[in-house]
C-alpha cells in the first residue's frame, strides 16, 4: 500500500504542476476589480441602430401612403362653363332625404354601381359630378364617389349647391 500511496501523491503533484504551467501569471484575486472605474458612459450604438431601422421603414412605406385616396376636383355650382360641360357627363345629386338622382333619375344606392358601369362608358370624358347638400354626411358623399370610381369613372368632381340658383 505504501507504493499506491506514493503513486497517488506523485499524481497529485503532477496535476498541480500541470495546472500552474497552463495558467502562469493568473491570479484569482479581486485586486484588479477594485482598481477599475465603474462604467458611466451610455452605449448609444443600439439606439442608433434602432433609429436607422425606423428611418429605413419610413422610407420604404411612405410612397404607398401618398397613393391612397381619391383625387377630387371641387368647384362651385356654375363652374360647368369650363372645359367639362355638365350635360356631357354623369350628374349625381344627393338630396337632404339621402335620395340619389343620376341625371335626374332616382337610383337606389344598391343599384348605383351597376347603373354607373353601363352609363359611364357613354360619357365623353368618363367624368362624374356629385352635388350634395351641406346637411349630407361626408361618409355618404365619399361612398358615392368611391362607387363612381370603382365603376369606371376616370374623374370625379364635387359641386357645392348654389343657394342663389334655387
| Higher per-residue pLDDT: 52 or 131 | 52
Which range has highest mean pLDDT (14-18, 64-68, 115-119)?
A: 115-119
What average pLDDT does the chain have?
Answer: 76
Residues 78-94 pLDDT 10s: 544 555 555 678 888 88
Query: 130: pLDDT confidence band, cut at 50, 70 and 90?
Result: confident
Cell of residue 85, nine digits: 360641360
128/70 Cα distance (integer angstroms) = 13
| Higher per-residue pLDDT: 142 or 74 | 142
138/33 Cα distance (integer angstroms) = 70
Residues 3-45 pLDDT 10s: 777 777 777 777 665 655 555 555 555 555 556 888 888 889 9
pLDDT at 5: 72
8 A C-beta contact, residue 120 and residue 150: no
3-state secondary structure the chain: CHHHHHHHHHHHHHHHHHHHHHCCCCCCCCHHHHHCCCCCCCCCHHHHHHHHHHHHHHHHHHHHHHHCCCCCEEEECCHHHCCCCHHHCEEEEECCCCCEEECCEEECHHHHHHHHHHHHHHCCCCEEEEEECCCCCHHHHHHHHHHHHHCCCCEEEEEECCHHHC
Query: 77: pLDDT confidence band, cut at 50, 70 and 90?
Result: low
Residues 154-163 pLDDT 10s: 888 887 765 5
pLDDT at 67: 60
pLDDT at 47: 94
Mean pLDDT of 102-113: 87
Q: What is the DSSP letter of 28?
A: -
Distances (CA, A) of 150 to 107, 120, 141, 153: 17, 11, 14, 7
Amino acid at each position: 500500500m505504501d507504493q499506491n500511496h506514493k503513486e497517488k501523491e506523485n499524481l497529485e503533484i503532477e496535476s498541480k504542476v500541470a495546472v500552474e504551467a497552463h495558467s502562469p501569471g493568473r491570479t484569482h484575486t479581486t485586486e484588479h476589480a477594485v482598481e477599475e472605474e465603474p462604467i458611466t458612459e451610455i452605449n448609444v450604438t443600439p439606439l442608433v441602430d434602432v433609429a436607422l431601422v425606423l428611418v429605413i421603414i419610413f422610407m420604404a412605406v411612405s410612397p404607398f401612403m401618398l397613393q391612397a385616396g381619391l383625387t377630387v376636383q371641387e368647384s362651385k355650382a356654375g363652374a360647368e362653363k369650363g372645359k367639362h360641360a355638365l350635360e356631357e357627363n354623369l350628374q349625381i345629386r344627393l338630396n337632404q332625404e339621402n335620395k340619389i338622382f343620376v341625371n335626374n333619375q332616382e337610383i337606389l344606392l344598391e343599384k348605383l354601381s351597376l347603373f354607373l358601369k353601363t352609363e359611364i362608358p357613354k360619357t365623353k370624358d368618363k367624368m362624374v359630378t356629385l352635388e350634395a347638400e351641406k346637411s349630407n354626411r361626408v361618409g355618404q358623399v365619399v361612398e358615392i364617389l368611391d362607387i363612381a370610381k370603382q365603376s369606371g369613372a376616370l374623374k370625379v368632381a364635387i359641386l357645392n349647391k348654389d343657394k342663389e340658383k334655387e
